[in-house]
Copies of this chain bind each other. A is one copy, B any other.
Amino acid sequence: MQTAHDRIEQALLAALARGEPRGAPPRLTAAVRHAVIPGGARIRPHLCLAVSAACGDSDPGLADASAAAIELMHCASLVHDDLPCFDDAAVRRGRASVHTAYGERCAVLAGDALIVMAFEVLAAGAARNPLRLPALMAVLAQRTGLPNGIVAGQAWECEPFVALPDYQRAKTGSLFAAATEMGALSAGGQPDVWRRFGEWLGEAYQVADDIRDAACDATELGKPADRDRTLGRPSAVAELGLVGALAHFEGLVDHAGQAVPDGPGSRNLRALLHAEAQRLLPPRLRAQVAA
């Protein structure tokens, strides 16, 4: 039987391959592939497939397409966030960032191509259930663009004043919300009852990211450490201190667990959530949360 991991990687590889026939610009296709393969934890697409499973997984192809679309959007945002005008990050996932490897122009275009590819994958995946497509597209667009998707979240870094929860909710929470909503929609389920689960989990993930940034070194992170402080970015650790941020993280994970709708898959999903929450923290801090 195919694992969720296999389904996600196959869907991503198929999407990349469709963009790489003879005649495509070779540097751009290489930059796009570099942005997607090998990936990180693929937490958003895993979340999408887990919710689709909890809703009966009535169209696995559409769930795979939704999962891939969300991950492609996430990869696009990483490529653009790493650009010299934002984080100027030379390293991502332990190797050269896209603009370091292929130049700034290819990185701008790779992000653009990935956003387009996300919608393309979704449309192609809806062949069996085309009537599910409009709502899936609407969610993907809302959670990505204006007024409060991940692009809007990133834009708060350009504003003179920003409230930390608004910023994190848009920058990270929105794509987690999309993962749960699209998982439900791809299976013909109701997105609204799943949104809060995704939002809490996304907020927890962002706080864990802030904690790792402050508490891990570059080797553990696969990218430079302590970037939030260096760049003066809003961060849960800057606002609450390390101990406060850990307590906040724990509270958010609890909220996420409570937001899982009751049903045949809810126990599995809560177990998955708590295992994942442990994995998100630096090893030496895990015991504190587990206690």
Contacts and interface: CB of A to CB of B under 8 A. Distances in A.
A148 to B, nearest CB: 7
A155 B105 CA distance: 8
A28 B153 CA distance: 10
A112 interface: yes
Contacts of A157: 105
Interface stretch (A139-147, A180-188, A205-213): A139-147
A116 B24 CA distance: 23
Contacts of A83: 108
Contacts of A148: 23-24
Interface in A105-123: 105-106, 108-109, 111-113, 115-117, 119-120, 122-123
A165 to B, nearest CB: 12
A177 interface: no
A226 interface: no
Given A26-B159, A116-B145, A138-B123, A105 B130 contact: no
Contact of A133 (B24, B116, B127, B130): B130
A172 interface: no
B108 A24 contact: no
Contact of A24 (B112, B146, B154): B146
Q: For the complex, would chain A's binding face be called helix, strand, loop or mixed by DSSP majority?
A: helix
A280 B256 CA distance: 58
Given A25-B156, A146-B32, A85 B104 contact: yes
A52 interface: no
A33 to B, nearest CB: 10
Nearest to A102: B158
Given A80-B112, A146-B19, A28 B158 contact: yes
Interface string A73-114: 000100010010110000000000000000111101101110
B113 A28 contact: no
Contacts of A251: none
Contacts of A104: 85
Interface in A15-50: 18-21, 23-29, 32
Given A23-B147, A28-B155, A152-B24, A115 B117 contact: no
A126 interface: yes
Interface of A: 18-21, 23-29, 32, 76, 80, 83, 85-86, 103-106, 108-109, 111-113, 115-117, 119-120, 122-124, 126-127, 130-131, 133-134, 137-138, 140-142, 144-149, 151-152, 154-159, 166
Given A112-B115, A130-B131, 10 more contacts: A19-B146, A27-B158, A76-B112, A109-B155, A112-B112, A117-B145, A119-B137, A123-B141, A131-B131, A133-B134
